[in-house]
Structure 1
Amino acid sequence: MDQVLFVAAEASSVTYAQRILETWKKQGRKIHAFGVGSQDMENLGFERLGKSEEMAVVGAAEIINSYGLLKGVFDNLVAEAEKRRPKVAVVMDYPEFNLMLAKKLHAMGIPVVYYISPQVWAWRKGRVKTIKKYCKKVFVLFPFEVPFYEEHGVPVEFVGHPLLDELDEKLIDNADYLKTHRNQVGIRDDEIVLGLMPGSRRLELKQHFQIQLDAARILSKKHANLKIVILTAPTFTKEKMQDYLEDFRLPYILLKDEPFRMIHLVDMMLVASGTATLQVGLLQKPMVIMYKMKWLTGIFAKLLVRGTKYYGLVNLILGKEAVPERFQGDVTAENMAALLDRYITDAAYKAEVKKDLASLRQYLGDKGATSRVVKALDEYLTV
């Protein structure tokens, strides 16, 4: 039986890794996958040596606090790879961890492919040298990534964005379906729906959620018919979110569902920077992107992204600030509320933003990314 090593430590990567495992299962393939992943992956037969919900850390302080855990998982992966000799290792996002692991695996002669590659075309471009040295191939999600990797001599294959496989077309611009869906969860037709997505990591929840709730309070004073929908990330339980809501007295709905189905309900979104912004954008929902790190981490981050005009994924892809994005000290409840309020009071502005977001899909290729990745991995496996 072929062995395959996966490292899927981020909430988005977990979904895409899970889809690969599901495809192999449907095909009846005799493949044993192990490494870092989620409980849902484990339910498919994946052997977890690291839990994604414990490893999705961000920021220097949180990484230092989790160092023992991360090093333990890293060392275990290296030892098991040495023992099992997997046919291929599929590493996803999580660049600091994965590039160090790729170096170790490369030294063992184990081929490494990078799926959901780091955004080296946007910041810290020097990492492309490490990818070239230790990875056999990179599967990229955006067409414009191909020339970048080719220019640096990295074997690359454009597979398209797997998010498109998750997207149900009836969730886009279908007024009747939206009305029905909203009524099902208790949203009245006359309500303005603000969605809150504070992030999928523990530190993001701590840094963002209270500011988002305070912004909603400010906005509700101006718009009495505001309804708040709080979207729970796959890495959290509703109970965890409830811990932050004891003093929140506005009418709200706390949801945990498929991300696109939750996003479908809203008129606008206040969202932490990350893959979630792309999900919101694909449903053409106007948004404000925010990200607030601890002070010292923020200073390092600014140094790392020098020369990069935008940090929100939607704006990076579109090459302009199609939606407002704010970072660090500019992330205040007052600023967030004011930016969101413009979507309510300025119909022309809202329409322009929706038009920009509608153009996102042309940058993401066609549906079927998972099947293309599965086919590409056959090069390393027993077919």
Structure 2
Amino acid sequence: MKKFYLIAGEPSGDLHGAHLIDALKVSFPDAEFYGFGGEKMQKAGLEIHQSIDQLSFMGFSEVIANLGIIRRNFKLAKAKIQEIQPHAIIYIDFPGFNMRMAKWSHAKGFKNYYYIAPQAWAWKPKRALALKKHIDQLFCILPFEKAFFAKYDYQVNYVGHPLVDIIDQYRKEDNTKINIESDKKIIALLPGSRRQEVEKILPIQLQAAQMMKDYDIYIAKASHLPSGLYEDLISSYNVEAIIYHGKTYDLLSSATLACVTSGTATLETALFKVPEVICYKGSQISYEIAKRLINIKYIGLANLIMDKEIVKELIQAECTVNRLYEELKKLEDLEILNTLQEEYKILEVKLGVGGAAKKTVEVIVQDLNRNFEKIK
């Protein structure tokens, strides 16, 4: 019986981790799953040792402020791994934590697999060397990543983006959809999955959306954050808005426009063909540090994959109520809208045919079998 330890630190990792567990069960029906994750991974069968709401902090200053919690999480993960002695550890994105864990686990002789490679191409490119040293198999989900790692003589596995399968599965399960009934068009606000993001970005989104008079406002609530956080902000800015709990895909299926905080949700919105504006605003200290370290032209995944700005990005000083409103109004222009929809179609083709979790498990099975033969 195989034992796997998985570590995800954010809602997107929780989503991808749950699908990976489902794929692992096909090859290892009696396997046991332990680790750090969220509700989706727990539902898939993970015995949770730490929840994602105790793991993810946005920005450099926020990380420093929570160093005590982070250290305790490292200590907990190491203790649990040594106690359980898993056959393999699978890291899902979340590089600040997971790369340090991988270094420790490699030194202890554990098998290390990394699903959804750290974005070393964006910053700290020499992370590629650390990954090559400490990870047995690395799985990339963006089409340009394989070529990046090849520059470091590191042969990795490109498996395609898992969202292709996840969204395809959602669309096939028509019975799970909830069609939102509204007399007006719907503008969806996706303010992020971290408390700090919601506190900084949702007020801007709410005020800009309120200026769009022909729309009802719906907010996609992160399942692990308290409802009161959203309710207080809605009340503070005196905006009529509906909090939508845990059904983001249902909301995107019904939305006409969307304001989306930078992250996986920007790509999800694009794959649902919803015209969007990407927002990002962090602490000024964190932003100034990041600006000097990160070497990318865009922050939106759709833009990165297409290598051009198909979706407008409003970052830091540009992320204001008036600028967001201006960009939302532009998306009502039929010519701009048609151009965007054509770009979305090309994006979908670039992401491939799916099967990311299944392809990943196939490589893990082969690698574990090779390791077993060596031991024999």
Q: What TM-score comes out, normalization by structure 2 length?
A: 0.90
Q: Equivalences for 1:114-133 in 2 at 5 Å?
A: 114-133=114-133
Match of 2:198 in 1: 205
Q: Select the residue among 249, 257, 282 that pairs with 2:271.
A: 282
Match of 2:235 in 1: 246
Match of 1:186 in 2: 181
Match of 1:355 in 2: 342
Q: Equivalences for 1:51-66 in 2 at 5 Å?
A: 51-66=51-66
Q: Equivalences for 1:254-293 in 2 at 5 Å?
A: 254-293=243-282
Between 207-216 and 42-51, the greater mean CA deviation after superposition: 42-51
Match of 1:141 in 2: 141
Separation of aligned partners in 1, 2:201 and 2:265: 14
Between 53-62 and 100-109, the greater mean CA deviation after superposition: 53-62
Residue 337 in 1 paired to residue 288 in 2? no
- In structure 2, relative to structure 1, the CA distance for the partners of 1:235 and 1:117 (3 Å cut) is farther
Separation of aligned partners in 1, 2:25 and 2:86: 18
SS at match of 1:246: helix
- In structure 2, relative to structure 1, the CA distance for the partners of 1:303 and 1:69 (3 Å cut) is same
Match of 1:320 in 2: 308
Deviation at 1:150, TM superposition (A): 2.2
Between 243-252 and 326-335, the greater mean CA deviation after superposition: 243-252
Whether the aligned pair in 2 keeps the contact of 1:49 and 1:73 (CA below 8 Å) is no
SS at match of 2:86: coil
Separation of aligned partners in 2, 1:364 and 1:315: 13
Residue 295 in 1 paired to residue 284 in 2? yes
Separation of aligned partners in 1, 2:51 and 2:170: 34
Name the amino acid aligned to 2:41: M
Match of 2:366 in 1: 379
> Deviations along 1:265-317, whole A, 9 cap, x unmatched?
111111100000000111121111110010100101101124x2111111111
Q: Equivalences for 1:79-118 in 2 at 5 Å?
A: 79-118=79-118
Deviation at 1:146, TM superposition (A): 1.4
Separation of aligned partners in 1, 2:153 and 2:113: 15
SS at match of 1:132: helix
- In structure 2, relative to structure 1, the CA distance for the partners of 1:258 and 1:23 (3 Å cut) is farther
Name the amino acid aligned to 1:322: I
Separation of aligned partners in 1, 2:29 and 2:287: 45
- In structure 2, relative to structure 1, the CA distance for the partners of 1:268 and 1:151 (3 Å cut) is same
Whether the aligned pair in 2 keeps the contact of 1:143 and 1:160 (CA below 8 Å) is yes
Deviation at 1:170, TM superposition (A): 9.0
Residue 234 in 1 paired to residue 242 in 2? no
Match of 1:31 in 2: 31
> Deviations along 1:125-146, whole A, 9 cap, x unmatched?
2211211111111111123211
Residue 370 in 1 paired to residue 370 in 2? no
Separation of aligned partners in 1, 2:261 and 2:39: 24
SS at match of 1:185: coil
SS at match of 2:233: coil
> Deviations along 1:212-260, whole A, 9 cap, x unmatched?
111112x23xxx3222121122333544422321245554332124332
Separation of aligned partners in 1, 2:143 and 2:209: 37
Separation of aligned partners in 2, 1:250 and 1:49: 38
SS at match of 2:354: coil
Name the amino acid aligned to 1:354: Q
Match of 2:50 in 1: 50
Separation of aligned partners in 1, 2:25 and 2:170: 28
- In structure 2, relative to structure 1, the CA distance for the partners of 1:329 and 1:352 (3 Å cut) is same
SS at match of 1:235: coil
SS at match of 1:244: helix
- In structure 2, relative to structure 1, the CA distance for the partners of 1:92 and 1:170 (3 Å cut) is closer
Aligned pairs, number? 367
Separation of aligned partners in 2, 1:151 and 1:290: 32
Separation of aligned partners in 2, 1:56 and 1:242: 22
Question: Structure 2 stretches of 5 or more lacking a match?
Answer: none
Match of 2:12 in 1: 12
- In structure 2, relative to structure 1, the CA distance for the partners of 1:213 and 1:163 (3 Å cut) is same
Between 278-287 and 228-237, the greater mean CA deviation after superposition: 228-237
SS at match of 2:29: coil
Deviation at 1:355, TM superposition (A): 1.3
- In structure 2, relative to structure 1, the CA distance for the partners of 1:324 and 1:45 (3 Å cut) is closer
